[in-house]
Structure 1
Amino acid sequence: MSTTGHTKRITTAQIEAMKGSRPIVSLTAYTTPIARLLDPHCDLLLVGDSLGMVLYGMETTIGVTLDMMIAHGRGVMRGVNHACVVVDLPFGAYQESKEQAFRSAARILKETGCDGVKLEGGEEMAETVAFLTARGVPVFGHIGLMPQLINTAGGYRSVGRSEKEAGKIRRDAAAIADAGAFGIVVEGTVEPLAREITATIAIPTIGIGASSACDGQILVSDDMLGLFTDFKPRFVKHFAELAPLVSKAAEAYAGEVKARSFPGPEHTFKLKN
């Protein structure tokens, strides 16, 4: 479903092989136009369930559905020629059983044409990851801060500060790597622990609020572009400030509409003589 059908895109195997070579560049994408703009610069595009908060104004990712992920996955796939595309399995679509996880993952792969799926969880999800990978589903893991578990985790916070918590995250990383995942997102994890995990496991780590020593980095594209002004997490850097530009463009448009200066003669259709 790429725009050309001829360009070879980066595969999950190639992403895994980038471990220790050069940093892996990743961003989220939710729509065709944004995917087209990001694709030439990224190794991996993630259709994240963060779309629930970014696009739909949800307070958490819990309300995102499998149908929503598939719809946005299709949109992103229409805009890519280069990057590997991974789609999140949303909350409730895989935790019940490994068989449920396979059915959900199979739908995503078949209905979007993406390269793999991502799921959150550590030791408790290792059996599911092994089940999926043994049946031809490439899986990207997600450990550390896990937004889908926000109701039991006590809110959005950095993790791994206590030895008990750090030990659990270490075991999670090892379990998901051993289960056959081709990479792991490490989110909201204190820097020394993220660095240690990256050096310990054999598959790439993609950091977000983790360590520069991770094998790659990912940000929510709307955060990276400076489209949100009300809240900026510590780990976010605005590489542009688009929110004021959007507001100014809307203000200019509104002014011209009210003044009847837009549309002008050059924007309207004339009768042919």
Structure 2
Amino acid sequence: MVPLPQRLFAELFGTFWLVLGGCGSAVLAAGVANVGIGYLGVALAFGLTVLTMAYSIGHISGCHLNPAVTIGLWAGRRFPTSHILPYIIAQVIGAIIAAGVVLLIAKGQPGYVLGPTGLAVNGYGVQSPGGYSLLSGLVIEIVLTFGFLIVIMGATDTRAPSGFAPLAIGLALTLIHLIAIPVTNTSVNPARSTGPALFVGGLALHQLWLFWVAPIVGGLLAGLTYRALAGEPPLPQVTGEPL
């Protein structure tokens, strides 16, 4: 098994890559006149970050990159309790660093101002791209995180075809963003939400609670559900195994 410090650095860097690629594409490329990549491009960017990191660091840390994934895998008896907090801390640090890098790059454009919805922050109500309510945001984040964890656990099950898990997981995250960007700007990941919100502050920070609670609830439900459906083996047989 890879030692914990190396696994934590892999999680930090992987989450950095996810936020840099996903939020960076939304901030720097989505709205560029005539050549902007739009919602489809941002959705693909998020999916590609997970796909590339799953192949790069999956064998090191499991490539969670997301507190909801870590907690969901724990609920599914795929991950030890003692490593939950260190993994989450590493993921949040990586997301914060990436959000800072995106902001630093964005400030290089003349006239750039960090607004209340800047850095691709997540939100509901006036913070939602489509003006969707708190209830809409809560439901979609729970449901989509649940689906994401089911895909992750199914694709990485030892009984599934080997070698294709990163493709399934990356495409699932792309699909999730295609559905949810207009509603909440798509979180399904508390770390991804925390990094940008800390720099934007204000309402983005006040609404951050939803993007911790909903994904974690979805992840927990998925872990328990998959274990019940698939008859997952007990933790000692899978502790430390990467995705």
- The TM-score with structure 1 as length reference comes to 0.25
Quick check: which has more Rg, 1 or 2?
1
Relative to its length, the structure with more strand (as a share) is: 1
TM-score, normalised to structure 2, is: 0.27
Structure (1 or 2) with the greater helix fraction = 2
Report 1 or 2 for greater relative contact order, CA contacts < 8 Å, sequence distance ≥ 6: 2
